[in-house]
């Protein structure tokens, strides 16, 4: 049994349960994937599998070292690769295929993606600071305020929340419920939102918590 699968985000829509309840869902183009490499404790020190998403990619978009690496597993045309840790007793080997049919409705999964980049943002938007008063002569509106003491420690402590690059981070959404599995079109329907833009790559792994 595979620990997860790779895919792309298609977009959001909604479904209706038999009782009439509306469920917001995200459609994911999950797989087909291929096992490009198997990591073993004897050679690598840990047990994991490297999956590659099988899709159409121009040969010129893949460099020569990666082309040779993929050719060993017969996975030419694979650009998106990710490693997933394995549970003891998993019998996946190089060249095996991982399909969306390994997942079932009502299963719980964690979805990992890269969030949308928002560029430079201030502390009010980036960290949800309240800001100052908007009237009565206030001259403090969207500024961060004090970022440290003068005498001690006389420096800005690492991790201080300030303005900066917002988004474009690795985000994991845990315990999303699988609503439907379409094995013909390799589509996974999960409840709720998934990080990243439409067309962005995602990793779907079995829930850990």
With respect to residue 154, please indicate whether it lies within any of the assigned structural domains: no
- Per-residue model confidence (pLDDT) at position 173: 95
- The yes-or-no verdict on residue 74 having pLDDT over 90 is no
With respect to residue 139, please indicate whether it lies within any of the assigned structural domains: no
- Per-residue model confidence (pLDDT) at position 17: 87
Residue 58 in 3-state DSSP? coil
120 with 89: CB under 8 angstroms?
no
Q: Which of the four pLDDT bands, split at 50, 70 and 90, describes residue 169? A: very high
With respect to residue 153, please indicate whether it lies within any of the assigned structural domains: no
Q: Which of the four pLDDT bands, split at 50, 70 and 90, describes residue 14? A: very high
When pLDDT is averaged across residues 32-59 and rounded to a whole number, the result is 86
Q: What gap in Å lies between CA 115 and CA 44, rounded to an integer?
A: 31
Q: What gap in Å lies between CA 1 and CA 181, rounded to an integer?
A: 16
Q: Provide the CATH number for the domain around residue 26.
A: 2.40.30.10
- The yes-or-no verdict on residue 63 having pLDDT over 90 is no
- Per-residue model confidence (pLDDT) at position 91: 80
With respect to residue 88, please indicate whether it lies within any of the assigned structural domains: yes
Q: What is the pLDDT of residues 26-41, one digit of tens each?
A: 999 987 888 888 888 8
Burial of 98 (C-beta count, 10 Å sphere; 0-12/13-18/19+): buried
With respect to residue 141, please indicate whether it lies within any of the assigned structural domains: no
Residue 136: Cβ within 10 Å count: 5
- The yes-or-no verdict on residue 70 having pLDDT over 90 is no
Q: Which of the four pLDDT bands, split at 50, 70 and 90, describes residue 164? A: very high
Domain that holds residue 114: 4-134+162-206
- The yes-or-no verdict on residue 203 having pLDDT over 90 is yes
- Per-residue model confidence (pLDDT) at position 166: 95
When pLDDT is averaged across residues 120-134 and rounded to a whole number, the result is 94
Q: How many domains does the chain have?
A: 1
- Per-residue model confidence (pLDDT) at position 76: 74
With respect to residue 142, please indicate whether it lies within any of the assigned structural domains: no
Burial of 28 (C-beta count, 10 Å sphere; 0-12/13-18/19+): buried
With respect to residue 143, please indicate whether it lies within any of the assigned structural domains: no
- The yes-or-no verdict on residue 43 having pLDDT over 80 is yes
When pLDDT is averaged across residues 109-132 and rounded to a whole number, the result is 95
- Per-residue model confidence (pLDDT) at position 40: 86
Residue 189: Cβ within 10 Å count: 20
With respect to residue 194, please indicate whether it lies within any of the assigned structural domains: yes
């Amino acid at each position: 049994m595979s620990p997860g699968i790779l895919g792309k985000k298609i977009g959001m829509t909604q479904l209706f349960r038999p009782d009439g309840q509306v469920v917001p869902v995200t459609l994911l183009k999950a797989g087909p994937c291929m096992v490009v490499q198997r990591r073993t404790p004897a050679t690598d020190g840990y047990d994991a599998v490297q999956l590659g998403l099988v899709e159409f990619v121009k040969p010129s978009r893949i460099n020569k070292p990666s082309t040779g690496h993929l050719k060993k597993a017969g996975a030419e045309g694979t650009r998106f690769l990710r490693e997933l840790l394995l549970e003891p007793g998993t019998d996946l080997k190089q060249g095996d295929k991982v399909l969306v049919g390994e997942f079932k409705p009502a299963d719980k999964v964690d979805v990992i993606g890269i969030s949308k980049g928002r560029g430079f943002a201030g502390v009010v938007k980036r960290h949800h600071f309240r800001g100052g008063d908007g009237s009565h002569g206030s001259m403090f509106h969207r500024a961060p305020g004090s970022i440290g003491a003068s005498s001690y420690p006389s420096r800005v402590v690492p991790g201080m929340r300030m303005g900066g690059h917002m988004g474009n981070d690795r985000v994991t959404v845990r315990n999303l419920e699988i609503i439907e599995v379409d094995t013909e079109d390799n589509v996974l329907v999960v409840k709720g939102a998934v990080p990243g833009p439409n067309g962005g790559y995602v990793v779907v792994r079995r829930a850990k918590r």
